[in-house]
Chains A and B, each alone.
Chain A
Amino acid sequence: MQITPQNLIHHELIGLEASVVHSSNTAQIGIKGKVIDETRNTLRIDVGERLVKIVPKSHTQFMFTIPASDGRRYLPETDTRVQVDGTLLLSQPENRIQSKFKKTIKRRVNI
């Protein structure tokens, strides 16, 4: 199934470009690379130079880049970037796929 901003939080994340835009651990802000593995609580991000960072999902805001394609080839100029609260991803990847997603953030933001 095509990955869209709407189904991103149910979708397989391995292979997507991700970066940490906000975290309670300030040392992790700015980590950027390809997601190579996922556990219930963490994402493993390959940052290049043979270095892999393990980032906890909770208390972290991720920016995922969804590659755009017109069906045949990728259009790298028109990527959509989606900012996701890591709390929404807190679950085993195989369980996240469930169609009805009930998990909500404890506190709504922007007020």
Chain B
Amino acid sequence: MGVIKQSRFYDLNIHPLPDCAGSPARLVLEARDMGYSGICLTSFNSDNTFFEHDIPLPPFNDFEIYTGIEIQVERVAKLTKEVNRLRGRADIIIIGGGNEDINRASAENGKVDILAHPAAHGKPLNHVLAKAAADNGVAVDFNMDALIMQRGGSRIKVLTAMRQNLMLARKYTVPMVITSNARSHYDLRGPREMMALAMFLGMTQDEARNALSKVPKGIIKRNTDSNRIMEGVEVAK
């Protein structure tokens, strides 16, 4: 268990105030208490994000706060347009998936960081999408709120789809992330609880740990490193 204590955990999909009820400061405090090293606060509405208002955040030196936008669109053409428009404005670009067309478009778009809740409608990914996501470095999200919040048939559907996604992600080495998709601080779960839930899905402990620590860290580094000019071009120190 020493490995888990040393790991730095990140939750990359938490929705704060303008869209949902939790205030950013409360979410940050709560996440820090639970043992996270950093979170990404994600807004749905790109015109009214929390980081454009001057909302004060608790100043911690040992806690990283990133900004993100979750794009929720119906049409593929709009998705590409929104991604290009918002890429420079937030640290992390997340696509709210579920719809098959949207899943495919985001898996094939190299500018997207995370495809969130791809199994929202109970439909799993397929081998084509998994391969595309692996090639473009789009991380597939396993959102634990679906397992916690839903009941009965819909939960079974999501669980089945997530298991299928896990199988595909293993086969094609797609980066996996586990997020809470929290809409208030009551929805947040600690890293080890999330890992336990993910292991219930069928992930091994190492996979679950990487999905909470290593892969999110890679995504953050890719997007915030100022020495990185583009994919494959880097200014050396």
Chain A positions near chain B (C-beta within 8 angstroms)? 5-6, 8-9, 63, 80-85, 87-88, 104-111
Contact = CB atoms under 8 A, between A and B. Distances in A.
A10 to B, nearest CB: 11
Interface string B204-237: 0000000000010011011000000101111110
Contacts of B134: 107
Interface residues of B, number: 19
Nearest to A107: B135
B139 interface: yes
Interface of B: 110, 134-137, 139, 175, 215, 218-219, 221-222, 229, 231-236
Contacts of B229: 5-6, 82
A104 B218 contact: no
A108 B235 contact: no
Nearest to B139: A111
A88 B235 contact: no
B236 A85 contact: no
A10 B234 CA distance: 15
B236 A108 contact: no
Contacts, number: 54
5 contacts: A5-B235, A104-B110, A105-B231, A108-B231, A111-B218
Contact of B137 (A63, A80, A108): A108
Contacts of B233: 5, 8-9, 82-85, 88
A105 B110 CA distance: 10
Contacts of B139: 111
Contacts of A105: 231-232
B66 to A, nearest CB: 16
A84 B175 contact: no
A111 B221 CA distance: 9
A100 to B, nearest CB: 13
Q: Which one of B134, B215, B231 has the highest number of Cβ atoms from chain A below 10 Å of its Cβ?
A: B231
Contacts of B236: 63, 81-83
B51 to A, nearest CB: 24
A106 B137 contact: no
A39 B134 CA distance: 31
A111 B235 contact: no
B232 A111 contact: no
B177 to A, nearest CB: 10
Nearest to A7: B229
A104 to B, nearest CB: 6
A84 B232 contact: yes
Q: Which one of B110, B219, B229 has the highest number of Cβ atoms from chain A below 10 Å of its Cβ?
A: B229
A110 B235 CA distance: 15
Contacts of A106: 135
A109 B137 CA distance: 8
B76 to A, nearest CB: 19
